[in-house]
Chains A and B, each alone.
Chain A
Amino acid sequence: MKLKGAKAVHYESGPNMTPLVDVVMVILIFLMLTGSFGGQEHYLISNVPTSKGGVGSSSAEIKDEVALEIRVDSPTPDRFVATAGRIQADSMEKLTTQLKAMKAQFNKEGTTDDKIQVKISPGRNVKYRFLVLCYEAALRAELPRVGFATGR
């Protein structure tokens, strides 16, 4: 039997793109599944050297440097208390507010931000996540130089 419109359907419109589309789709799916974009993580960077002897023993040579020590303790495993001079805070928000006030006071007295060195001095049993919160509080207060003091 002869099909009526068979010749009309077979139209030469260029190269067959189907294998190309197949391969390209496979590559696309592979890239989508295997690729990691690293968008879920970031970094808190410090270039202030860690000092063994606490505040004032830094090897950084900056003239007229002002040290700001934040002592962090953990009275119970699920909370922390940060003390810096007269201020005391048990959350990142409170610590940020108080550090901002301290920074404003330092600035008023003529100390620029780059001369304020924040040193977080934690107790041995303080959880890492609390230290990161204190670190973040200092960064949120726009204090650029944050480091750690050890040996408590």
Chain B
Amino acid sequence: MAKRHIPAAHGSHPNVTPLIDVVMVLIVFFMLVAKIGVNTGADEKIIIPKTVMGIDIKDLGNTLVLNVRQGQIDQPYITALVKGTPTELKVFDPTTKRNQLVETLKYFRNGDKVAGIAANPDFKVIIRGDESMEYRFLEPVLLACAEAQVKEWAFNTGKVEVEVP
């Protein structure tokens, strides 16, 4: 029986097929898992408190992230992504005498008939607060949520790594 020899070219070129297979699997994994270009308006500079407990919110579509910091006197400094633009939401605007935070929350919760935006009863608020902020700055935010009849709100916290004994 004649012996079959591997051609010489096979010895000089590595077989890249398994490499391509693995890389393709990795690409598909990253495309499915990674959140690319998803801007929730969360301010990454804010140092949030860490907790062991907590759940992941998979769908952030019905949510508004409020970045809450200590402001001047009793006014919190709140920013959020409103209509695609990072916006400061004042609890009391001295020039217009309006509560921009409540108005914005009501806009998302109740919709806008003139603009043809329907009410969203499942609208949620995510509070991303600075851990060193005092409660007097958070209180107006909770009251605004209550006034706008927001059904659910959540504190955004960091995960504590639990050491397994």
Contact = CB atoms under 8 A, between A and B. Distances in A.
Contact of B157 (A42, A46, A49, A52): A42
Contact of A31 (B16, B27, B131, B154): B27
Nearest to A138: B53
Interface in A1-60: 5, 8-11, 13, 17-18, 20-21, 24-25, 27-28, 31-32, 34-47, 49-52
Q: Which 3 A-B pairs have the closest CB atoms?
A: A35-B34, A11-B9, A42-B54
B83 to A, nearest CB: 23
Interface string B1-45: 000000111101100110110011011001101111010000000
Interface stretch (A62-70, A99-107, A109-117, A127-135): A127-135
13 contacts: A11-B8, A24-B27, A28-B27, A32-B30, A35-B30, A35-B36, A36-B35, A40-B159, A41-B156, A43-B154, A45-B154, A52-B146, A127-B131
Interface stretch (B95-103, B108-116, B136-144): B136-144
B43 to A, nearest CB: 13
A38 B54 contact: no
Main DSSP-derived SS at the B contact region:
mixed
Given A9-B9, A28-B23, A35-B33, 18 more contacts: A8-B7, A13-B10, A17-B17, A21-B20, A21-B23, A31-B31, A40-B158, A41-B48, A43-B154, A44-B53, A44-B154, A46-B153, A50-B143, A52-B146, A128-B49, A128-B132, A128-B135, A133-B49
A24 B20 contact: yes
B145 interface: yes
